[in-house]
Chain A
Amino acid sequence: MINDNANLFLIFGIFTIILGVCGFYCIMVTKNFIRALIGLEILTKAVTLLIIAAGYVSNRIALAQSMVITLIVVEVVVISVAAGIVFGVFKQIGSLNITKMRNLKG
């Protein structure tokens, strides 16, 4: 039983790392604001997966669900505010390209 759970956690851990790499790569390589947010979302998915797997393996699934719900609430707020910021930047510079964001104050 313990060995099964350890192997299951290992598999989830590997897939979490892969998803995390996916999200990081997206954020690093993209030149589009919205795609950077999508990369952030993928990173959050990786964290959600790891929390749920840890809760399942350690027999604390209720606690894990509670933390995932908190994570989802925070994620929605972050994405909504970030979408507002993206729209504000678009109104200022007329483009979603990060490389064109050079003439702001500060």
Chain B
Amino acid sequence: MILTLILLTLLVLAAVWTVMTRSLMMSAVGLALTSVILSIIIFTLNSPLAGVFELSVCAGLITVVFISTMSLTKPITRTEFKKQTKDRIKRYWYMPVIIILIGLGCALMLTAPDLKPLTPAIENDVRNVMWKVRQTDVLGQIIILLAGVFGVVVLFKERKKND
């Protein structure tokens, strides 16, 4: 329980740092750090497969996608950066306060849910659940992946000069 609490606190701190840091690159790194901490939490909750997916895809692939997008776009100038820094402090300093207030409010007001006695699961193997119980999900994943591939192809397609 204490380990879970420490990990959850670290997760929130990493997320806050991701949102509040000035540099966009550090923000992407912070997001990867958040993913790593989340995957550790998932591992501690006896879900190794989801943890591996989270670690490899969210902490790896998505960070690469973000950093590639940043490298393809133009960085802001030093003057713009200074101006944005002043502006950012005004906009972002409320966030830690709001988070602390909401956290305290939830901790004081919410009560533990009334859970029914546990029943044994129908299937405990992820592979069986994935391929036999949730077959429609797999079909949906394939369709979404194809839609994503077509979307990216259309977006990056070079237009003819006549257009």
> When A and B form their complex, what is the total count of cross-chain residue pairs whose Cβ atoms lie within 8 Å?
222
Which residues of A have CB within 8 Å of B62? Answer: 41, 75-76, 79
Supposing A29-B91, A69-B49, A73-B144 touch, asked if A14 and B107 sit within 8 A by C-beta, the answer is yes
Majority secondary structure of chain B interface residues (helix, strand, loop or mixed):
helix
On chain B, which size bracket covers the interface? 35 or more
Interface residues in A, total, Cβ within 8 A: 72
Majority SS at the chain A contact face:
helix
Inter-subunit contact B112/A52 (CB<8 Å): no
Give chain B's interface residues, CB within 8 Å of chain A. Answer: 1, 4-5, 8, 11-12, 15-16, 18-19, 24, 27-28, 31, 34-35, 38, 41-42, 45-47, 49-50, 53-54, 57-58, 61-62, 65-66, 68-70, 72-74, 91-92, 94-95, 98-99, 102-103, 106-107, 110-115, 117-121, 123-126, 128-130, 133-134, 137, 140-141, 144-145, 147-148, 151-152, 155-156
